[in-house]
Structure 1
Amino acid sequence: MIAATGVSRWRDAMRIVMIAPPWYDVPPQGYGGIESMLAELVAGLSRRGHHITLIGAGRPGTAARFLATYDPPPSERIGEPMPEVLHAAKAYALAVDIDADLVHDHSLAGPLSAAARAVPTVVTCHGEIDGELGEYYRALGPAVSMVGISEAQRRFAPDLNWAGVVHNAVETASFPFREHKEDWVLWLGRLNEDKGAHVAIDVARAAGRRILLAGKLTEPLEHDYFEREVRPRLGPDAEYLGEADAARKRELLAAARCLLFPILWEEPFGMVMIEAMACGTPVVALNRGAVPEVVVDGVTGLVRNEVEELAEAVEAVGALDPHACRSHVADNFDVEVMTVRYERVYRQIITTPEEPAGGTRDLALPVT
């Protein structure tokens, strides 16, 4: 098991093993919301003097010491169980001899080994917590300390062993600010039906605006959805650009009149919203999931309850101040803010005695 000498436990610097999912590089070359957030967290913790060992797939791309489970990442097999399980087994073996204060696991299968460690395991839940994922974390019990990425997410499973809520973040300065926008709107994300790309096209068309769409289109279900709902809607006023890399994504986000975010599920966060606002681009979104925690209605975007209200919002959003969007991200969703909040989680978990089996510890950490 991971060594637990306590050498760094009571000093300012912590020794943290960070476990990434196996599917993409950290940071990702294209799509990869978890990997983007993880790269930013590693950078923030490293800047603050902590010693990070990152276990993941692919190439080293951060300031952390890097240990690889796959080279290259098995991206084409995303959704299959064996790469995830093999990654978890390799990650556990790689971490055995590391002197650490805690493990922060962002993978799916990795937390299964948490009970075998002498140090605490923190798990950030990046997915939909109701249903089977919630049952999985419930079965792990006090072996893991859970961190939610929004209050909306945590409300679906309040009985889990929550250690707090920490919103995801971006390096605000890495996103180009643009005050004067072009007249088209943008949809950016994964081509899954719940993300609402087809709804975005309908909304933009109803508003009389051209829409550009960019997103990941690799998995069979994504292709099925694209052919059924998206391709028939494309035309001179609705163009699919393919998947955007980091540079292209920033160009699109900075130039767009607004980001359309018509999600059809209770999304626990939505990184693209803060990426857009960091560029000074407001968000027009449906009021679901974490949207009201991320977007300030009437200030950094317009949040509506019904799809039928979105076309009018696309027109009204032009009156919002791009500077307010940028400031909102810098104040609430910057990497430095997220890093400090995770530090607080780590220190309280390290110094707080564990509850008896079956107990729930909630450190009630603030998110503002």
Structure 2
Amino acid sequence: MIAPPWFEIPPPAYGGIESVCGDLIEALILRGHEVVLVGAGRNGTSARFVATYRQPQGHRLGDPLPEIVHAAALPGILDDLDVDVIHDHTLAGPLLARGRETPTVVTAHGPVRGDLARYYRTMSRHVHLVAISNAQRTAAPEIDWAATVHNAVRVADFPFRADKGDHAVFLGRMCPDKGLCQAIDATRAAGVRLVIAGKWSEPAEQEYFRQEVEPRLGQGVEWFGEASWRQKTELLGAARCLLFPIQWEEPFGMVMIEAMACGTPVVALRRGSVPEIVTDGATGFICDEVAQLPAALDKAAALEPGRCRLEARRRFDVTLMAARYEEVYRTACGQRPLRPRTFGAGRARTTTTGTESAVRHPHPEQPASPRGRQESRRPSRS
């Protein structure tokens, strides 16, 4: 499992790809697989861990070099491993897959358009490329997609709350694509209080916040800041709805299934993967225009939280995602059985590559199994 070098796994706050990787790893281990994770920082999973960077490189987002260095370390790492399949979640890593004997599965986590569509079209000749939504796949039908596997969460980790407050919540990065200004306008028109939580660590995000968001605060619009995982679940669980007025064809919005897991409906615009995730009139409301959002905000309070939770568990739980990726792995391996592996006894071992110093896991400042993962244990083999 090759994760990007930007955040630890699982991430302490922002990091959708890293959350998916962490949950998938734990689900695969529970299903009897041995997993090696290549990432950055400290290991918060039950997998064996190889770190290309001692510290995650999130502060360098936008700089291509950390991911290039991360990818360049892979051949040496893979030379020391005997694995059935490689699952790469990075952008640069698949460049090294051509000619590799071990099959490579690649998940396209971002938009597939322009140069990225051209890149993935070329890569699909050498890897098994997985889409995270049918919307993403439909936007690039010329690509040889191997499968569509929706992202997922460990629904049991999310606290369910049936009693809701009167406010709406917005969670997302500070950028125009997320539709925060539209969310503010819609809640003011509906007379509903809005709580905003989001990532704003990059210069462009900070500039957007100062120019567009900060002047709009007050009068029922409250800025929370970047939320930890626990704070995020509390915010989602307490709200009458998640407001998701997305302004682009986002291939998958993790926050939608996180809200549903907390029993909170979603009010969204019909863009990207929204119609695949939200059941209109049951787990939320899908609007075709921004002008329809205030009425949907008003109606959201009448939706049943239990239905939202049920749909999240039935359609977007990590156990389903793991089973679907197993099918992709078996196809990539030519239908041959995945072989048992033993990568060393006991708890996962952590090493680093290159000039980085070796570190051992668990780290005294970070629990070995965050977010309730103490119950996840490597299954014994007969």
TM-score (norm: length of structure 1): 0.90
Of 22, 30, 35, 2:5 maps to 22
Shift of 1:48: 0.3
Residue in 2 that maps onto 1:318: 301
Residue in 2 that maps onto 1:77: 60
Distance of 2:179 and 2:251 partners within structure 1: 15
Matching residue's letter, 1:338: M
Distance of 1:37 and 1:265 partners within structure 2: 22
Shift of 1:352: 5.9
Of 128, 137, 140, 2:111 maps to 128
Compare 235-244 and 308-317 and name the one that shifted more: 235-244
Residue in 1 that maps onto 2:329: 346
Of 252, 264, 274, 2:247 maps to 264
8 A contact 1:40–1:170 mirrored in 2: yes
Secondary structure (helix, strand or coil) at the match of 1:159 reads: coil
Q: Deviations over 1:154-188 (max 9, x none)?
A: 01111222110000001011011111100111000
Distance of 1:19 and 1:161 partners within structure 2: 22
Q: Deviations over 1:239-266 (max 9, x none)?
A: 1111000110010010001000000000
Distance of 2:20 and 2:256 partners within structure 1: 13
8 A contact 1:92–1:110 mirrored in 2: no
Matching residue's letter, 1:347: R
Shift of 1:93: 2.0
Distance of 1:283 and 1:252 partners within structure 2: 13
Q: Deviations over 1:273-328 (max 9, x none)?
A: 00000111000000000000000000000001000000110001111110000000
Unaligned ranges ≥5, structure 2: 337-382
Q: Deviations over 1:75-121 (max 9, x none)?
A: 11011011110011113321222101111000110000001411111
Of 282, 286, 302, 2:269 maps to 286
Shift of 1:140: 2.2
Of 25, 43, 58, 1:42 maps to 25
1:297-312 equivalence runs, <5 A: 297-312=280-295
TM-score (norm: length of structure 2): 0.86
Distance of 1:90 and 1:306 partners within structure 2: 47
Aligned-pair Cα RMSD in Å: 1.1
Q: How many residues align?
A: 336
Whether 1:186 aligns to 2:169 is: yes
Distance of 1:93 and 1:189 partners within structure 2: 37
Matching residue's letter, 1:272: V
Residue in 2 that maps onto 1:240: 223
8 A contact 2:104–2:332 mirrored in 1: no
Secondary structure (helix, strand or coil) at the match of 1:351 reads: coil
Secondary structure (helix, strand or coil) at the match of 1:187 reads: strand
**Same amino acid, percent of matched pairs:** 55
Distance of 1:38 and 1:161 partners within structure 2: 23
Moved over 2 A (4+): none
1:1-368 equivalence runs, <5 A: 18-351=1-334
Matching residue's letter, 1:94: I
Matching residue's letter, 1:210: R
Matching residue's letter, 2:288: N
Residue in 2 that maps onto 1:366: none
Compare 193-202 and 262-271 and name the one that shifted more: 193-202
